[in-house]
Amino acid sequence: MSTALQQQIQQFYDASSSLWEQIWGEHMHHGYYGADGKIKKERRQAQIDLIEELLQWSGVQQAENILDVGCGIGGSSLYLAQKFNAKVTGITLSPVQASRAAERATEADLAAEASFQVADAQNMPFADNSFDLVWSLESGEHMPDKTKFMQECYRVLKPGGKFIMVTWCHRSTENEALTTDEKQHLADIYRVYCLPYVISLPEYEKIAQNLSLQNIHTADWSKAVAPFWDVVIDSAFNFEALVGLIRSGWGTIQAALSLGLMSRGYDRGLIKFGLLCGTK
């Protein structure tokens, strides 16, 4: 069953993915600029470094059967398939992304290893205990039911397998509730990027504990990734990007005009880049 939010997400990525790929490449996620965000590097390299740093942080050295939850156009999926010589399945809500990801797999000679389909992460069409690595890079923020999403990731994970989730969070509210102004700032981000709401990293950790995930680790990499948005803003204002934006429609234009929302969110400590990993 497709909800209004799911349709919005689908339309957002159907309309914006080819522009993103043309201007920024196949990875639709933050880059990594060193633990304190001070290292200057080329943007695509920073995105690849994020994947490598995540693998190192979570201790994943090999995988045979990977699920990429919220796969975009298969940036991580193909990278991981190649790196580990593994089978990868990617799911997305966007048919345009799924077919572009499959096309990219063929171009990279990975069609036998990587497959892509349109499916809802909160209700996945896979048997229990299917994958030894479940990877979700910046898709959790789109999920209306965070618990159902994590339950599903856990269900399809093989015993002994690893779950790695990286997602946009708001700051912890353990010591101080969100202010009206912070709530308004978050509402603006939700509207522009098609998010139902985000939660804090400690809240994600509690959900993971209730699932009986083992060896749970969390980390806040906000400092390491925050420079990403300034790099994106700089590159959004060239001629090619502007023409593409106009072609991609109002949703994409709004997202581009609002790039500053995320960097301001990091600056004031409201937005957090949260990591969680654990084993089944």
Query: Where along the sequence are the contacts to ligand SAH (CB under 6 A)?
Result: 9, 13, 27-29, 70-72, 75-76, 91-94, 97, 120-122, 137-139, 142-143
Q: From the CB of 254, what's the least distance to ligand SAH, in Å?
A: 16
List Cβ neighbours of 81 (8 Å cut-off, separation of 6 or more). Answer: 66, 87, 88, 105, 110, 113, 114
**Whose Cβ is closer to ligand SAH: residue 182's or residue 252's?**
252
Q: Two tokens at 150?
A: 């994590």
Q: From the CB of 217, what's the least distance to ligand SAH, in Å?
A: 20
Q: What CA–CA distance (Å, rounded) separates 44 from 51? A: 11
Buried b (16+ CB within 10 A) or exposed e, 167-191: bbbbbeeeeeeeeeebeebbeebee
**Whose Cβ is closer to ligand SAH: residue 70's or residue 182's?**
70
Query: Considering only CA atoms, which of 147, 151, 41, 25 is closest in space to residue 76?
Result: 25
What ranges make up the beta strands (E) of the chain?
A: 65-69, 87-92, 114-118, 131-137, 157-170, 214-220, 271-279
**Whose Cβ is closer to ligand SAH: residue 28's or residue 241's?**
28
Q: From the CB of 51, what's the least distance to ligand SAH, in Å?
A: 9
Q: From the CB of 76, what's the least distance to ligand SAH, in Å?
A: 5
Q: From the CB of 65, what's the least distance to ligand SAH, in Å?
A: 18
**Whose Cβ is closer to ligand SAH: residue 9's or residue 226's?**
9
Would you call 69 helix, strand, or coil by DSSP?
strand
Q: From the CB of 103, what's the least distance to ligand SAH, in Å?
A: 15
**Whose Cβ is closer to ligand SAH: residue 144's or residue 160's?**
144
**Whose Cβ is closer to ligand SAH: residue 97's or residue 222's?**
97
Query: Considering only CA atoms, which of 106, 52, 53 is closest in space to residue 84?
Result: 52
